[in-house]
Amino acid sequence: MDRDSNVKALANTALATALAVIIAIVGLFVPVLALASLLWPVPVIVIVKRYGLRYGVYSTIASGLIVGMISEPIYAAYVILSYGALGLSIGYGVHKDYRAGRILTITSVVSLLSKLLLMYAVTRIMGVNPLEVQIESMEKGLELSMGFYGRMGLDVPEEMREALFSSFELLKITLPALLIIVAIMDSYLNYTVARIVLKRLGLTLDALPPFAEWRAPGNLTVGFLLLMVLSIAGGYLGLGNIDVIMGNILLLFQMVFLVQGVSVAYFFLLRRGVNKILRILLIVLILFNQPLALAAMFAGILDVLFDFRKRFTQKGGS
């Protein structure tokens, strides 16, 4: 890169940094506009796409430090690790012309690692684990609510009380799986938003497959059944922490099968010409209705085995 090109790259990097700082400040300090944080990686992606990873790193570090000086140092780590890492990984994938699936996989791994590093940094700086503090505050809030209902003469059934408090224990056990799920969702949302914004800037990101075509690998069910057998064997042999490990793996499989089942439902709703708004409402209903969600999960398992959509298409379904 010659001198003029280098100056131009630095100037555009400075502009991207200023824009990233503005987005970060708005997302951090204006709760109503918190979703604006999804736009944070976009300036970094543009810089990496046009000038390479080095300038993206400059922009990420500079914007993080500026945010830290304006607010608190902890926010510098938050910006760099939470959003900067996502922007750099997506930008790198775009710069290398990777396919969308590969970019999303890389970004999900980076997102997970950045979240773990952020938790470690906060724990080292503040001396407390932020997730443990959050769960404890939720438990105390539930206890206060139970006390309030009791004083109002509204007794909460003991079974419901035990179920609510046991859910917090389950939350602690399944934190690793939940972090993985959040990392994937975070990467997907950021990639989708970045693709929409960059399209308006004349830059293209490879499109992900339509939701109606999402499908897990065909051997996933075999792996699922094998892990169930290993879980039963491990419990029988008394292996330590096997329940925790298998609980997390089971949750991940359940989410994969649920998403696949919902994708199958969306495919057939689409083929039947159901209105888009109605399709979305029906999918939301499935997700928030436990029996329907369970049915969708089993449909996802069966679809991995039998590929209903392929069979329907081959038969000339419309």
pTM of the model: 0.80
Same domain, 196 and 215: no
Structural domain boundaries enclosing 90: 3-129+175-200
Regarding whether 46 and 192 lie in a shared domain, the answer is yes
Chain position carrying tokens 């750099």:
88
Mean pLDDT by 10 residues, the chain (318 residues): 74 88 80 73 86 88 87 78 87 87 90 86 75 71 70 68 68 82 88 84 83 81 72 66 76 89 93 90 91 92 85 68
Residue pair 16/44 in contact (Cβ under 8 Å)? The answer is yes
Note whether 71 and 91 are same-domain residues: yes
- Establish if 36 belongs to a structural domain: yes
3-state secondary structure of 128: coil
Q: What is the DSSP letter of 97?
A: T
Q: Kindly state whether residues 32 and 122 are assigned to the same domain.
A: yes
Q: What is the pLDDT of residue 316?
A: 59
In a domain, 236, yes or no: yes
> Is 106 domain-assigned?
yes
The pLDDT value given to residue 148: 67
Q: Are 256 and 294 in a shared domain?
A: yes
Three-state DSSP at 152 gives coil
Predicted local confidence at residue 262, as pLDDT? 94
Neighbours of 99 (CB within 10 A): 12
For residue 148, tell me if it sits in a domain: no
Same domain for 186 and 48?
yes
Q: Are residues 50 and 94 in the same domain?
A: yes
Three-state SS string over 194-242 comes to HHHHHHHCCCCCCCCCCHHHCCCCCCHHHHHHHHHHHHHHHHHHCCCCH
Instruction: Give the residue among 119, 134, 207, 146 at the shortest CA–CA distance from 172.
Output: 134
pLDDT of amino acid 128: 72
Say yes or no: 190 and 295 in one domain.
no
- What confidence score (pLDDT) does residue 294 get? 93
Residue 160 in any domain: the answer is no
CA-to-CA distance for 102 and 112, rounded, in angstroms?
16
Please tell me whether residues 190 and 260 are part of one structural domain.
no
Determine the residue type at 97. Answer: D
Classify residue 61: in a domain, yes or no: yes
In a domain, 159, yes or no: no
Cβ contact 255:297 at 8 Å: no
Contact 207, 103 (CB under 8 A): no
Q: How far, CA to CA in Å, does 16 sit from each of 23, 35, 77, 81, 146?
A: 11, 19, 19, 17, 49
- Please check whether residues 195 and 51 belong to one and the same domain: yes
Token readout for 138 is 């939720």
Asked if 108 and 44 sit in the same domain, the reply is yes
Q: Are residues 76 and 36 in the same domain?
A: yes
Instruction: Domain count for the chain, please give it.
Output: 2
